[in-house]
Amino acid sequence: MNCTKCPNLCSSRSQIVLPDFYSCSIEEKILVIGEAPGAKEDSIGSGFQGIAGKNLDELFRMFNLVRKRDYLCANTVWCRPPNNRKPTKSELVNCAPHLTQLIENSRPTAIVTVGAVAWNHFVPNNRDNLETVIENFLEQSHFAIFYSSRSSTKQIPLVPLPHTSPLCWYRYSNKGDKWSDLGRECLSHALQLIEKSR
């Protein structure tokens, strides 16, 4: 794959970091979407390889879920932004067709968004902060927000997750909850809802 739509990303990247989908089948798996590759991901060419990725994998292992078997990872943009900054709106727009095609081809059982950037990419009209989004999700007895597939009438449930980077994962919410505990609650709740919907 080659893409030159974003000059700043082209100059800062070592390579395009492709989703797991390119190395195995994603059909009927959970798709985890993060923000953007970091330095380690950029050097290796695979997403979620740094500490944030290790925290994510550890969370999923708590529920006996294994990467590339039960869930796969991708990012909203597939090139590392300079100095690990957040992707710009134009970069997100430029990379969106790649991500859309990935979802259309794979039809995952659910999309788990890691952090506010990924959530807002799928829910652009969202005005709540991530903490409020998560609180609302945990109170639901069913999935309330979906991704609408163009190639199918099936809607894909969207699940919010705190960012798993150390800066966020080990901090506390405004209500005093540890973000990692909220992450565990989110995934547990999502898996229950997925099982309930089968």
What is the model's pTM? 0.94
Q: How confident is the model at residue 197 (pLDDT cuts 50, 70, 90)?
A: confident
Q: How confident is the model at residue 12 (pLDDT cuts 50, 70, 90)?
A: confident
Q: How confident is the model at residue 1 (pLDDT cuts 50, 70, 90)?
A: confident
Q: Tell me if 110 is assigned to some domain.
A: yes
Residues spanned by the domain of 85: 7-197
11: domain CATH number? 3.40.470.10
CA atoms within 13 A on the CB side of 10: 8
Mean pLDDT within 106-122:
94
Q: Tell me if 93 is assigned to some domain.
A: yes
Please name which of 154, 151, 155, 153 lies closest in space to residue 122, comparing C-alpha atoms.
Answer: 155
Is 26 a residue whose pLDDT tops 80?
no
C-alpha to C-alpha distance for 35 and 37, rounded to whole angstroms: 7
Q: Tell me if 2 is assigned to some domain.
A: no
Q: State residue 178's pLDDT score.
A: 95
On average, the pLDDT of the chain sits at 92
Q: What angle do CA 88, 121, 30 make, to 5 degrees?
A: 130
Q: Tell me if 1 is assigned to some domain.
A: no
Cβ atoms of residues 160 and 130 within 8 Å: yes
What total number of domains does the chain contain?
A: 1
Q: pLDDT digits over 44-73, tens only?
A: 999 999 999 999 999 999 999 999 889 999
Q: Tell me if 170 is assigned to some domain.
A: yes
Q: pLDDT digits over 146-182, tens only?
A: 998 777 678 999 999 999 999 899 999 999 999 999 9
Mean pLDDT within 1-20:
90
Q: State residue 154's pLDDT score.
A: 81
Q: Rg of the chain's alpha carbons, rounded to an integer?
A: 16
Q: How confident is the model at residue 187 (pLDDT cuts 50, 70, 90)?
A: very high
Is 24 a residue whose pLDDT tops 70?
no
Is 2 a residue whose pLDDT tops 90?
no
